[in-house]
Structure 1
Amino acid sequence: MTITEQRTGLAPAVRSPDRAYLAWTAVAIAYAIAFLQRVSPQSITANFMADFSTDAAGVAMLASSYFWGYTLMQIPAGLLVDRYGVKRVVLFSMAASSLGSAAFALAPNLLDVFAARLVVACGDALVFTALLKLVALSFKDERFGIMSGISQVSGYVGGVMATTPLAAAVSGFGWRACFVFIACVGLANLAFASLVLKRDPAAHSGKTLRGVLAASGKSLSHLANWGCAMSFASHFAVVTTLSGVWGIPMVAHFFNISPSAASTPLLTFMVGNALGSIFLGHMADRAAALDTALIRICLLRMLLIAMLLPPVAHALGFVYVTVVFAVLGLVAGGTVPLVLKCTKRLYTAELIGVGASVNTTAAGIFAGASQPVIGLAMVGASRLSGSGAEHGAASISDAGFATLIGILLVMSLPGIAGPWLMKSKLIVRK
């Protein structure tokens, strides 16, 4: 997820309230679709493996391609919105996402799958930045907080759609038909957005891509800023890998149930995420020691992930796993506001856009690079344990999913080291 600087002194554009809400609705739907695209692999894993005769490594490639495309577009996202306006950027984003989704549905081989998901991700990466910009331009300052919060929740609605509803649709119609339908919805929303979004006046920003890159490079000379990037990257990579790639296959394996039935815990995760971003986000505003709060929430996240180890899950059952995912969603939803508060304090309001770009770029690189390693490790552990001789969802055994949990715990460690690196700067800039 990307957040670009919003200057509180910026006067909202004059537009009718009805049209402002219609414009917001169009871009919020685009963000919901983007979030759905990000976490959808978990709902199609078994079908995807069967169609392409691949294993966990193939699924990891599917996830990795999205992360790399998303990462490539993070640095220029804010610059593009500032220079070309919300409407042009959003329409480009919607077109890329829809066409990429259709290409993904029709892809005959893994190489085409990788390319299609790359296109989808490059489009999706621009949406949330444009959505926040639209909120700043369309609504008064006293409504910016609530509207930006609701905008965040619109993404979680897409995440909810990627669990039980998508898994059920895939079971009934197949994953290819589902992604053709998603592409059609995206194109319909593109037509709607072209009507309700007003054309923005040409931006007269003095920013250049070279200047943004220079500011980003300079920021990396400070250890505290590295700590902030480490904290967000660890959170993003761990949570997205579990909730967006391997959550449903893992639950389906644990209890020998269909992906549709196994999506219930992930549905509670998404609901928890939305609630956590609102209620724990409010508590984050009152946190005196941000570094301590981040370390504690990271340790809690690690404990919850460890509670999903196969022996524990088998012993305590489906309801237990569902509750763990629900609590994990609350924790994940409350982590992002803490990181954003740290980002603003470290970079100041003037450079918070650069800070957000650095954080999300680091997160995308970490998540993208880790996926092939995770996939290969899961396959290797499953084969060493005596199972997983064949391709498909059944190729991952308890040993493979235990390896996944172990890797996620190791990937969580930067989330402990990062706040420690930020500590001195956070104290100075209270």
Structure 2
Amino acid sequence: MAALGQQAVASSPLRFFDRAYVAWGTVAFAYAVAFLQRMSPQTVGLDFMRDFGTDASGVAMLASSYFWGYTLMQIPAGVLVDRYGVKRVVLCSMAASVLGSAAFALSPTLFDVFVARVVVACGDALVFTALLKLVAQNFSDQRFGLMSGISQVSGYVGGVLATTPLAAAVSGFGWRACFLFIACVGVANFACASATLKSAPANYTSRTLKSVLVTSWHALGSAATWGCAMSFAAHFAVVTTLAGVWGIPMVAHYFGISPSAAGGPLLAFMVGNAIGSIFLGHAADRMQSLNAALISITLLRMVLVVMLLPALAHSFGFFYVGAVFAVLGLVAGGTVPLILKSTKHLYTAERIGVGASINTTAAGIFAGLAQPAIAFAMVTASGLDPDIGSSLRSAASDSGYAALIEILLLMSLPGLLGPLMMRRELILRT
């Protein structure tokens, strides 16, 4: 009997270990699918235009419909996850993604496409916040940085699948069949998540939306909360502006090459991002001073941005720029687990959903407001007519890209101030 008892005690942690990772895997897979959905318009665009008899404006509508649904759900995402728990929110998210994918594949008109993509986006908007909450609840603080970093990588995997693999599938089977298949895969993942995700603890039943909203409102009165949001906003806006908007045009201009050839350094950035998310996420679990680490990594990012100035790029060449982007990817990937770890310490696992939503919303607003200022500065520095801003990417001069670098440095400053605002709270809660 004693032996049986010991065996039961020994097997219990193993069962929890297996279930925790399988449950995480179902939500991480949903996040990969969400990333694939977000990036798919660039891959299915030509087939989509042919089938609907539309032009680039139709593809823009396809992309913007997802953007609007995703953006509108960012604030509610954190509140819903903190109020109702991971399982209920994730299952609703998966159901919306499945129904939206199937509706998109069967859409007879552009209006139906718009509605279907909004439904998909509203579901996908909940996934990463729920994934972060799941990691905070199911894994110890000593593993939170690593698991949050790996969670980021799952999204990058979905982004990779949205390129060559999806293009090959669309070429062979058509885009409608591909999205029906994605919907079927979503159904299977829904069933797996239903079986493996744990229901919300009993204390969730006593929570109300009002209580969660009041707690969120009080959080906005804390300087540490704004410091955390500033840290993430500075990181997100700088990295997205450089790697997601101006990176390829800048490299193409520096070396007089095609955009496809200029994509090499950006590929190195993505690989570095994935590696940094895992290894620096693991390191984050062993750091004693998160605010000092955030200041150090922000300073390193600023140095790397300076290293992309036109004069240095022309002097050291293409491979130099590729190496800088690769290291910048490592730094960018490692920054996210540090900020997420800080978010968990500030908000605790109970309110981390709200914290993630505040950070994401602040980052989106900062990045969005910065873009017109960046474009104006680049146009002015390049000596261009402001009315031809649409051709800026191919016409900006070295002076224009130098102005871009200078603005990115200014945008990095909140990343130095934010950790100082968090310092006291992080020390108290670490």
TM-score, length basis structure 1: 0.73
Report the Cα distance in structure 2 between the residues aligned to 1:22 and 1:428, rounded to whole angstroms.
34
Report the Cα distance in structure 2 between the residues aligned to 1:210 and 1:346, rounded to whole angstroms.
21
Report the Cα distance in structure 2 between the residues aligned to 1:286 and 1:245, rounded to whole angstroms.
34
Residue 48 of structure 1 corresponds to which residue in structure 2?
none
Question: AA paired with 1:321?
Answer: V
1:76–1:305: structure 2 CA closer, same or farther, 3 Å change rule? same
Contact residue 102 and residue 179 of structure 2 kept, 8 A: yes
1:347–1:21: structure 2 CA closer, same or farther, 3 Å change rule? closer
Residue 305 of structure 2 corresponds to which residue in structure 1?
305
Report the Cα distance in structure 2 between the residues aligned to 1:370 and 1:100, rounded to whole angstroms.
35
SS of structure 1 residue aligned to 2:221: coil
Residue 7 of structure 1 corresponds to which residue in structure 2?
none
Identity of aligned residues (%): 52
Residue 289 of structure 1 corresponds to which residue in structure 2?
289
Report the Cα distance in structure 1 between the residues aligned to 2:105 and 2:376, rounded to whole angstroms.
31
Q: State whether structure 2 residue 193 is matched by structure 1 residue 197.
A: yes
1:347–1:76: structure 2 CA closer, same or farther, 3 Å change rule? closer
Residue 155 of structure 2 corresponds to which residue in structure 1?
155
User: How many pairs are equivalent?
Assistant: 406
Residue 186 of structure 1 corresponds to which residue in structure 2?
182
**Correspondent of 1:88 among 86, 91, 101:** 91
Q: Which has the larger radius of gyration?
A: 2
Question: AA paired with 2:240?
Answer: T
Contact residue 387 and residue 395 of structure 1 kept, 8 A: no
Q: State whether structure 2 residue 420 is matched by structure 1 residue 420.
A: yes
1:192–1:28: structure 2 CA closer, same or farther, 3 Å change rule? same
Tell me: higher relative CO, structure 1 or 2? Use CA pairs within 8 A at least 6 residues apart.
1
Residue 280 of structure 1 corresponds to which residue in structure 2?
280
Contact residue 228 and residue 342 of structure 2 kept, 8 A: yes
Residue 328 of structure 2 corresponds to which residue in structure 1?
328
Question: AA paired with 1:422?
Answer: M
**CA distances 1:208-232 after superposition (whole Å, capped 9, x unpaired):** 3322221111112121221111111
Question: AA paired with 1:193?
Answer: N
Residue 8 of structure 1 corresponds to which residue in structure 2?
none
Residue 128 of structure 2 corresponds to which residue in structure 1?
128
TM-score, length basis structure 2: 0.73
Report the Cα distance in structure 1 between the residues aligned to 2:79 and 2:137, rounded to whole angstroms.
20
Structure 2 gap ranges (5+): 1-11, 46-54
1:136–1:298: structure 2 CA closer, same or farther, 3 Å change rule? closer
Residue 355 of structure 1 corresponds to which residue in structure 2?
355
**CA distances 1:278-306 after superposition (whole Å, capped 9, x unpaired):** 22223223333322221111111112122
**CA distances 1:302-348 after superposition (whole Å, capped 9, x unpaired):** 12122223333233222111111110111112112222332233334
Contact residue 65 and residue 368 of structure 1 kept, 8 A: no
Report the Cα distance in structure 1 between the residues aligned to 2:362 and 2:211, rounded to whole angstroms.
19
1:382–1:118: structure 2 CA closer, same or farther, 3 Å change rule? farther
Report the Cα distance in structure 1 between the residues aligned to 2:157 and 2:321, rounded to whole angstroms.
21
Root mean square deviation of aligned Cα: 4.8
Residue 208 of structure 2 corresponds to which residue in structure 1?
208
Question: AA paired with 1:360?
Answer: T
Q: CA deviation at 1:407?
A: 2.7
The equivalences for 1:9-408 within 5 A come to: 25-36=25-36, 52=56, 65=68, 68-69=71-72, 71-79=74-82, 82=85, 85=88, 88-95=91-98, 98=101, 121-132=121-132, 149-161=149-161, 165=164, 169=167, 183-184=179-180, 186-198=182-194, 203=200, 205=204, 206-374=206-374, 376-377=375-376, 380-381=379-380, 384-385=383-384, 389=388, 391-392=390-391, 395-398=394-397, 399-408=399-408
Question: AA paired with 1:207?
Answer: R
SS of structure 2 residue aligned to 1:197: helix
**CA distances 1:189-239 after superposition (whole Å, capped 9, x unpaired):** 223224433267875623333222211111121212211111111112221
Report the Cα distance in structure 2 between the residues aligned to 1:367 and 1:423, rounded to whole angstroms.
25
**CA distances 1:48-97 after superposition (whole Å, capped 9, x unpaired):** xxx5489xx99x98997587346344433514761762552232352377
Question: AA paired with 1:426?
Answer: L
1:118–1:392: structure 2 CA closer, same or farther, 3 Å change rule? farther
Question: AA paired with 1:95?
Answer: V
- Higher relative helix content: 2
1:25–1:294: structure 2 CA closer, same or farther, 3 Å change rule? closer
Contact residue 378 and residue 396 of structure 1 kept, 8 A: no
Question: AA paired with 2:98?
Answer: A
Question: AA paired with 2:418?
Answer: G
SS of structure 2 residue aligned to 1:352: helix
Report the Cα distance in structure 2 between the residues aligned to 1:312 and 1:62, rounded to whole angstroms.
40
1:281–1:264: structure 2 CA closer, same or farther, 3 Å change rule? same
Mean Cα deviation higher: 328-337 or 302-311? 302-311
Contact residue 129 and residue 356 of structure 2 kept, 8 A: no
1:298–1:183: structure 2 CA closer, same or farther, 3 Å change rule? farther
Question: AA paired with 1:33?
Answer: V
Question: AA paired with 1:92?
Answer: A
Contact residue 224 and residue 346 of structure 2 kept, 8 A: yes
Contact residue 136 and residue 349 of structure 2 kept, 8 A: no
Question: AA paired with 1:76?
Answer: V
Report the Cα distance in structure 1 between the residues aligned to 2:349 and 2:82, rounded to whole angstroms.
16
Structure 1 gap ranges (5+): 1-10, 46-50
Residue 3 of structure 2 corresponds to which residue in structure 1?
none
Contact residue 148 and residue 337 of structure 2 kept, 8 A: no
Question: AA paired with 1:384?
Answer: G
Q: CA deviation at 1:416?
A: 0.8
1:53–1:401: structure 2 CA closer, same or farther, 3 Å change rule? farther
SS of structure 1 residue aligned to 2:97: helix
Report the Cα distance in structure 2 between the residues aligned to 1:252 and 1:102, rounded to whole angstroms.
36
1:31–1:101: structure 2 CA closer, same or farther, 3 Å change rule? farther
